């Protein structure tokens, strides 16, 4: 514990650290130091509520309901605000270890609530409070306003031509106006770019007298002017275009180019995807992992939540995968039959941030059974190249070089897991049922049909739920500073949500792969209540953010990133929110166990 005086200690504790100085000075003057020995009862349900906000400096307070311990609060954690806000005592509070605390009178707490940020800390939902508590983490020095409206990047109005204009007319106007695109009037309007001149005019042997209506894109992909910059990135990458008209009130405000976004940040996903698309050969693969890490750090510092960041990482990894398979096909020749490259696990769910172990598979059309050697070689080359790019080999061997087969073979495998849910089969099903086709043209409808039939397979669902409940948060009473407890954020916090969300998503017939999409589908179907769903979603987002921040901090310090954190590494408010998150997840698991009669 640092030797801070009471005022300095309170000032360093969220949300007091963000208070305007005049408000904080008033709070500091009202500050009281109190001491209570172990065993002291501070508040009793249904009796007089607490009249102060408490910040613990030393010792511990146990919160109970009906004799059952719900939480133990320690250094840096606060209590009393529920009594102050509701005017009721809803929990019993008992001093577990001799308590030294600082307290602020209720009327002063009410005055501090005039500050929106301070009030929001206590009144907002779990996710909002947690993001606020973590936003000052020193994970990156680079900042860019990714939440700014995209209209702030528009530098000039759009240039238009009539639909009677020729390619030559459009080219001359583009040179004069020094732009790389023109919009074409019509219903709906269209767009012609310098890229169209290369691909649709010169490459096709057309002349300057060609009408622009022969080569334009219509309807054109556009974005609203109020859209945040990071969402414009997503549109640009997903649509694979280089120009985005920006709309306001149904009118074109201007045209945004990928160059505009590249100038906005050299560490953004647009910049890295353009680099990936131009990788000349395998020798340029090393360093990809570092670029992704830098991008993730800058996006996190820019205010994006980890779920959004993971979506960008997935798009980049997909682009890299296509490039790698292009090289493999160049080596081996044209594929003899259609195939599909499957991303599994977190990559299949589009939830990977920093690069982790490979999880992938390869499926090819039944007609190519005699060409198995070709696809085995293709998979081997691709797995090797992914390793060079920074994706470690999977220790469990879940890589395409080991999991390569025909569509019928894969369909039989899926059907076997569902029909006879052994422990090993359920484990493999959990890995492969997150599959997502990243590259290739093979239709995977037969595999999806197996998943679509799972709601009728009670035995399989029960086995899947039983496996999911093997991953559980630790008992909250063990999460203590004094014991020096470590917490595996992945196994004890994130995995419990991922595994059970998979069960719930499959149970309601959702074809979603992402964890949050599965939870929302289960909520719409009535399998989860809205409040429980919101609490689990907020908790999941928080745990992802906490893990990512701790991992980036480790990388910045030259250490290997890990999923394990020590409670001493996080502040008191973070520790409280961590316990809140784990409690929400554990409660959901208990309900699932009861629903599916799984012990």
Residue 430 near residue 398 (C-beta atoms within 8 A)? no
For the chain, what percent of residues have pLDDT higher than 70? 92
Q: How is residue 202 written in tokens?
A: 């010169």
Q: Tens digit of pLDDT for each residue in 320-375? A: 999 999 999 999 999 999 999 999 999 999 999 888 889 999 999 999 999 999 99
Question: What is the C-alpha separation between 386 and 382, in angstroms, rounded?
Answer: 6
C-alpha to C-alpha distances, 299 to 296, 312, 356, 516, nearest whole angstrom: 5, 10, 19, 20
Which CATH class for the 6-123 domain?
Answer: mainly beta
Q: Tens digit of pLDDT for each residue in 132-166? A: 444 444 343 334 466 778 888 888 888 999 999 99
Q: What 3-state class would DSSP assign to 81?
A: helix
Question: What is the C-alpha separation between 433 and 451, in angstroms, rounded?
Answer: 8
User: 243-248 and 223-224 as β-strands: parallel, antiparallel, unpaired?
Assistant: parallel
Give the closest residue to 404 by CA, choosing from 436, 368, 433, 431.
368
Least confident of 341-355, 440-454, 513-527, 551-565: 551-565
- Average per-residue pLDDT for the chain: 87
Ranges of CATH 2.60.120.10 domains, the chain = 6-123
Question: What is the C-alpha separation between 222 and 124, in angstroms, rounded?
Answer: 34
CATH of domain 270-445: 3.30.460.10
Q: How is residue 507 written in tokens?
A: 């149970």
Question: What is the C-alpha separation between 257 and 236, in angstroms, rounded?
Answer: 9
Question: What is the C-alpha separation between 487 and 255, in angstroms, rounded?
Answer: 49
The residue with greater pLDDT, 132 or 433, is 433
Question: What is the C-alpha separation between 569 and 575, in angstroms, rounded?
Answer: 9
Residue 574 near residue 134 (C-beta atoms within 8 A)? yes
111 exposure class (CB count in 10 Å sphere: 0-12, 13-18, 19+): middle
Question: What is the C-alpha separation between 348 and 314, in angstroms, rounded?
Answer: 9
pLDDT of the residue at 580: 85
pLDDT of the residue at 137: 43
If one counts every other C-beta atom within 10 angstroms of the C-beta of residue 17, the result is 13
b vs e for 206-227, b when ≥16 Cβ sit within 10 Å of the residue's Cβ?
eeeebbbbebbbeebebbebeb
- The dihedral through the CA atoms of 240, 246, 247, 253 has a sign that is negative
Whether 380 has a pLDDT exceeding 90, the answer reads: yes
Whether 482 has a pLDDT exceeding 80, the answer reads: no
Ranges of CATH 1.20.120 domains, the chain = 463-595
Question: What is the C-alpha separation between 512 and 297, in angstroms, rounded?
Answer: 27
Give the closest residue to 390 by CA, choosing from 324, 309, 480, 434.
324
Report the C-alpha dihedral over residues 506, 511, 515, 519, rounded to 10 degrees: -70
Whether 186 has a pLDDT exceeding 70, the answer reads: yes
Question: What is the C-alpha separation between 373 and 379, in angstroms, rounded?
Answer: 10
Q: How is residue 118 written in tokens?
A: 């301070």
Give the closest residue to 425 by CA, choosing from 455, 457, 472.
457
Band of residue 263 on the pLDDT scale cut at 50, 70, 90: low
Give the closest residue to 97 by CA, choosing from 474, 476, 481, 475.
481
Band of residue 430 on the pLDDT scale cut at 50, 70, 90: confident
Least confident of 259-268, 434-443, 464-473: 259-268
Phi, psi of 309 (to 5 degrees): -60, -40
Question: What is the C-alpha separation between 174 and 155, in angstroms, rounded?
Answer: 16
**Start-to-end Cα distance in the chain:** 42
Residue by residue, DSSP assigns 340-369 as EEEE-HHHHTT---S-----EEEEE-GGGG
Question: Helix 407-419 vs helix 458-468: angle between axes, to the nearest 10 degrees?
Answer: 80
The CATH architecture assigned to 463-595 reads Up-down Bundle (1.20)
Stated as kind and residue range, the H or E segment containing 496 is helix 495-507
Which CATH class for the 150-264 domain?
Answer: alpha beta
543 exposure class (CB count in 10 Å sphere: 0-12, 13-18, 19+): buried
* β-strand partners of 346: none
Question: What is the C-alpha separation between 436 and 243, in angstroms, rounded?
Answer: 28
Residue 292 near residue 355 (C-beta atoms within 8 A)? yes
Average pLDDT over residues 413-417: 94
Residue 289 near residue 390 (C-beta atoms within 8 A)? yes
For the chain, what percent of residues have pLDDT higher than 90? 51
Band of residue 539 on the pLDDT scale cut at 50, 70, 90: very high
* β-strand partners of 248: 251
- The dihedral through the CA atoms of 453, 457, 462, 467 has a sign that is negative
Ranges of CATH 3.30.460.10 domains, the chain = 270-445
Question: Helix 458-468 vs helix 495-507: angle between axes, to the nearest 10 degrees?
Answer: 170
Whether 38 has a pLDDT exceeding 80, the answer reads: yes
């Amino acid at each position: 514990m640092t030797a801070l005086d009471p005022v300095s200690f309170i000032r360093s504790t969220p949300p007091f650290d963000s208070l305007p100085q005049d408000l904080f000075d008033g709070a500091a003057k009202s500050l009281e130091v109190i001491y209570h020995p172990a065993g002291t009862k501070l508040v009793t349900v249904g009796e007089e509520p607490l009249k102060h906000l408490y910040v613990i400096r030393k010792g511990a307070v146990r919160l109970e309901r009906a004799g059952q311990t719900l939480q133990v609060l320690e250094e840096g954690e606060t209590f009393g605000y529920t009594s102050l806000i509701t005017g009721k005592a809803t929990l019993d509070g008992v001093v577990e270890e001799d308590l030294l605390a600082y307290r602020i009178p209720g009327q002063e707490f009410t005055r501090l609530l005039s500050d929106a940020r301070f009030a929001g800390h206590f009144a907002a939902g779990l996710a909002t409070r947690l993001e606020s508590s973590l936003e000052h983490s020193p994970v990156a020095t680079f900042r860019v306003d990714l939440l700014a409206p995209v209209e702030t990047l528009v530098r000039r109005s759009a240039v238009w031509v009539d639909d009677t204009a020729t390619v030559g007319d459009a080219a001359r106007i583009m040179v004069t106006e020094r732009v790389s695109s023109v919009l074409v009037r019509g219903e709906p309007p269209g767009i012609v770019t310098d890229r169209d001149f290369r691909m649709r005019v010169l490459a096709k042997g057309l002349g300057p007298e060609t009408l622009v209506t022969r080569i334009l894109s219509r309807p054109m992909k556009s974005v609203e002017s109020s859209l945040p910059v990071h969402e414009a990135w997503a549109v640009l990458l997903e649509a694979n275009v280089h120009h985005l008209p920006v709309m306001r009130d149904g009118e074109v405000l201007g045209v945004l180019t990928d160059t505009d976004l590249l100038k906005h940040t050299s560490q953004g996903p647009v910049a890295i995807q353009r680099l990936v698309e131009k990788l000349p050969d395998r020798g340029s693969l090393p360093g990809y992992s570092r670029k992704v890490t830098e991008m993730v750090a800058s996006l996190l510092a820019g205010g994006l939540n980890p779920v959004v960041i993971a979506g960008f990482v997935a798009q980049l990894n997909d682009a890299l995968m296509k490039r790698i398979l292009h090289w493999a096909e160049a080596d081996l020749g044209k594929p003899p039959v259609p195939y599909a490259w499957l991303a599994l696990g977190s990559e299949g769910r589009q939830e990977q941030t920093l690069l982790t172990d490979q999880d992938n598979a390869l499926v090819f059309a039944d007609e190519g059974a005699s060409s198995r050697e070709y696809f085995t070689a293709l998979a081997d080359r691709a797995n090797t190249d992914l390793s060079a790019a920074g994706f470690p080999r999977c220790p469990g061997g879940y890589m395409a070089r080991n999991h390569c087969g025909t569509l019928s073979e894969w369909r039989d495998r899926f059907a076997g897991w569902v029909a006879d849910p052994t422990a090993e089969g359920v484990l493999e099903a959990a890995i492969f049922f997150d599959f997502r086709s990243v590259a290739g043209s093979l239709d995977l409808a037969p595999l999806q049909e197996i998943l679509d039939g799972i709601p009728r397979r009670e035995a399989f669902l029960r086995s899947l739920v039983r496996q999911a409940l093997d991953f559980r948060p630790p008992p909250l009473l063990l999460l203590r500073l004094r014991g020096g407890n470590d917490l595996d954020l992945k196994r004890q916090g994130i995995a419990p949500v991922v595994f059970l969300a998979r069960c719930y998503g499959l149970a309601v017939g959702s074809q979603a792969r992402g964890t949050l999409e599965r939870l929302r589908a289960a909520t719409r179907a009535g399998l989860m209540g809205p409040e429980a769903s919101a609490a689990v979603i907020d908790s999941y987002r928080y745990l992802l953010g906490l893990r990512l921040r701790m991992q980036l901090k480790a990388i910045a310090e030259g250490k290997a990133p890990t999923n394990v954190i020590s409670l001493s590494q996080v502040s008191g408010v973070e520790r409280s929110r961590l316990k809140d998150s784990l409690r929400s997840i554990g409660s959901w698991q208990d309900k699932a166990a009861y629903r599916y009669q799984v012990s």
